[in-house]
């Protein structure tokens, strides 16, 4: 058996010069320290994204992106297509786990200050992918064309509409008209399967290239150690195999979730029905949704919702540009105030997500 593998490797090596690649990867080392665990969430995010791509392509074989047929096609996929239920359920569950993994990855990078020079572009491409992931979630949520998704999209695009000057045109662009209709579904479908994946692939390529070129970032306290005091492990095969191990565990988790908690389809959207109770966006938008609900209708002379959207936009911009204004970390100094601010942000997101779920 082992001989057969060796023969196959030799055959491939002769044609692809695999030895060079293995030698290159063998020279790559990953820092080992007490926070090394967070390195794996980038890989988990990548794995879940790949699952999204594969299951998404499979769903495309049967899904029909029109007002009349979208809901029925998902019904068909779930009930008639062989393993269609599994593919759909995995697609839905991995979408949510993907956002979760990306969030963990993003905050771990933040707390480890891994965005500091020379990794500003890695952070920014990561942030672009995070925003695109939210876009994937928002556009994909509408595609089954069910009641909850329909009204959540209505509320979500309404919020976009309150942005001064650009809000209204943006809302009309997103909806394909004044209201959420079949036209909205068509363009959300287009965004979900063509526009967003296209941009995402480019950003992912740059992100991975930068990671490979620059290697893993070391936390400040590790970077401060002398060269002989730092522990490392080879990227290949050690780190890659550990990555694979985690991927297998995540795959197992996905299968269990998909079988025991199949993603519900709900009722078909009715454009003329009144909104049912309990309309809420996906969990990763809940903290913003709940905050906007708490903000008074008017604060001084400003509309409360406009102020909320403005504050969130500003926070997002600051977050995106953090490598450029966090000068202390760039100089290799500890920035406790920023860590506490990040901790407060995490606690706020968790608390408001729970509140949004409970209330």
Q: How many CB atoms lie within 10 A of CB 95?
A: 23
- What's the token pair of residue 236? 């290949």
Is residue 22 involved in binding other proteins (CB under 8 A)? no
Shortest distance, position 31 Cβ to other proteins, whole Å: 16
Among residues 209, 223, 224, 249, which is the contact residue for other proteins, using CB under 8 A? 249
By C-beta, is 241 or 317 nearer to other proteins? 241
37 binds other proteins (CB under 8 A): no
Question: How many CA atoms within 13 Å lie on the side-chain side of 70?
Answer: 27
Q: How far is the CB of 254 from other proteins (least distance, A)?
A: 10
For position 248 contacting other proteins by CB under 8 A, the verdict is yes
Within 191-210, the residues that bind other proteins by CB under 8 A are none
292 binds other proteins (CB under 8 A): no
- DSSP for 21-83 reads HHHHHHT-EEEESTTGGGGHHHHHHHHHHHHHHHHHHHHHTT---STTTHHHHHHHHHHTSTT
Q: Which of 255, 320, 321, 355 binds other proteins (CB under 8 A)?
A: 255
Distance from C-alpha of 151 to C-alpha of 319, rounded to nearest angstrom? 30
H, E, C per residue of 170-203 = HHHHHHCCCCCCHHHHHHHHHHHHHHHHHHHHHH
Binds other proteins (CB under 8 A): choice among 6, 68, 79, 212: 79
Determine which residue in the list 202, 223, 245, 302 makes contact with other proteins, applying CB under 8 A.
Answer: 245
Half-sphere exposure of 220 (CA within 13 A, CB side): 16
Which CA distances in Å does 320 have to 27, 313, 315? 32, 11, 9
Minimal CA–CA distance to 68: which of 186, 148, 175, 178?
Answer: 186
Q: Which stretch binds other proteins (CB under 8 A): 5-13, 59-67, 201-209, 255-263?
A: 255-263
Torsion of CA 61, 62, 66, 67, to 10 degrees: -150
User: Which C-beta is closer to other proteins: that of 202 or that of 259?
Assistant: 259
Q: Is residue 78 part of the contact set for other proteins (CB under 8 A)?
A: yes
Select the span of 18-26, 189-197, 260-268, 296-304 touching other proteins (CB under 8 A).
260-268
**Rounded CA separation 92/96 (Å):** 7
| Minimal distance, residue 324 CB to other proteins, in Å | 39
Closest approach, Cβ 89 to other proteins, in A, equals 10
The site for other proteins (CB under 8 A) is made up of: 75, 78-79, 85-86, 233, 237-238, 241-242, 244-245, 248-249, 251-252, 255-256, 259-262, 264-265
């Amino acid at each position: 058996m082992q001989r057969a593998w060796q023969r196959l490797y030799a055959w491939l090596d002769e044609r692809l010069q695999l030895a060079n690649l293995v030698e290159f990867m063998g020279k790559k080392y990953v820092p080992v320290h007490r926070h090394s665990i967070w390195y794996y969430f980038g890989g988990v995010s990548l794995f879940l994204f790949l699952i999204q791509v594969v299951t998404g392509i499979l769903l495309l074989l049967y899904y029909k992106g029109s007002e009349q047929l979208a809901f029925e096609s998902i019904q068909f996929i779930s009930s008639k297509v062989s393993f269609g239920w599994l593919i759909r359920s995995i697609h839905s569950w991995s979408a949510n786990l993907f956002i979760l993994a990306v969030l963990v990855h993003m905050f771990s990078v933040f707390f480890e200050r891994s965005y500091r020079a020379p990794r500003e572009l890695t952070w920014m491409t990561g942030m672009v992918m995070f925003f695109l992931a939210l876009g994937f979630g928002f556009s994909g949520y509408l595609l089954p064309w069910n009641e909850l998704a329909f009204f959540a999209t209505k509320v979500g695009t309404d919020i976009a509409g309150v942005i001064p000057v650009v809000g209204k045109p943006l809302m009309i662009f997103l909806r394909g008209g004044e209201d959420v209709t079949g036209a909205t579904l068509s363009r959300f479908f287009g965004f979900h399967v063509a526009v967003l994946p296209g941009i995402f692939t480019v950003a992912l390529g740059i992100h991975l290239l930068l990671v490979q070129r620059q290697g893993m970032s070391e936390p400040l306290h590790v970077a401060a150690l002398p060269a002989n005091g730092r522990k490392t492990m080879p990227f290949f095969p050690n780190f890659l195999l550990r990555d694979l191990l985690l991927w297998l565990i995540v795959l197992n988790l996905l299968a269990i979730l998909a079988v025991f908690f199949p993603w519900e389809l709900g009722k078909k959207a009715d454009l003329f029905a009144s909104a049912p109770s309990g309309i809420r966006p996906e969990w990763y938008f809940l903290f913003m949704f709940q905050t906007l609900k708490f903000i008074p209708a008017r604060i001084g002379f400003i509309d409360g919702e406009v102020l909320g959207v403005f504050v969130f936009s500003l926070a997002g911009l600051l977050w995106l540009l953090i490598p450029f204004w966090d000068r202390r970390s760039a100089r290799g100094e500890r920035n406790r105030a920023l860590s506490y601010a990040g901790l407060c942000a995490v606690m706020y997101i968790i608390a408001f997500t729970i509140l949004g779920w409970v209330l």
